[in-house]
Amino acid sequence: MQYRSFAFQVQLPEVGLGTWKYVGGPRPLRHALELGATLIDTAESYDTEEIVGQAIQGIRHKAFIATKISPRHFRRRDVKTAAEASLNASLRTAVPQAGG
């Protein structure tokens, strides 16, 4: 896998995993992550955040998650909240909760 360096010492693979219309479940995403495809692209409208979260469970530190927000959240006051909610939807599944 070829990687590119970006600001703040971030290295991303040249190939990312898109999850638009993705229905393959967490296992193929997890396998791709283990092979070095560490960039996963998701979005509010894709409805794949939970699957992404399952795929990165236990290896969150290896994954770079990119998300996009829906046009209904394009107002300045909504952008950050919507992006955080999308990422948190993935991370909620990836990080085991106390008592769960």
Neighbours of 66 (CB within 10 A): 14
**Res. 39 pLDDT band, cuts 50 70 90:** very high
**Res. 8 pLDDT band, cuts 50 70 90:** confident
1 or 33: which carries more pLDDT confidence? 33
The pLDDT tens digits for 41-95 are 988 889 898 899 899 998 888 888 888 888 898 998 898 888 888 777 777 665 4
What gap in Å lies between CA 81 and CA 98, rounded to an integer?
24
The residue extents of the domains of the chain are 18-94
Full-model pTM: 0.76
Residue 66 CA to its chain's centroid (Å): 5
Query: Minimal CA–CA distance to 90: which of 55, 61, 62, 38?
Result: 55
The pLDDT tens digits for 13-25 are 888 899 999 999 9
**Res. 100 pLDDT band, cuts 50 70 90:** very low
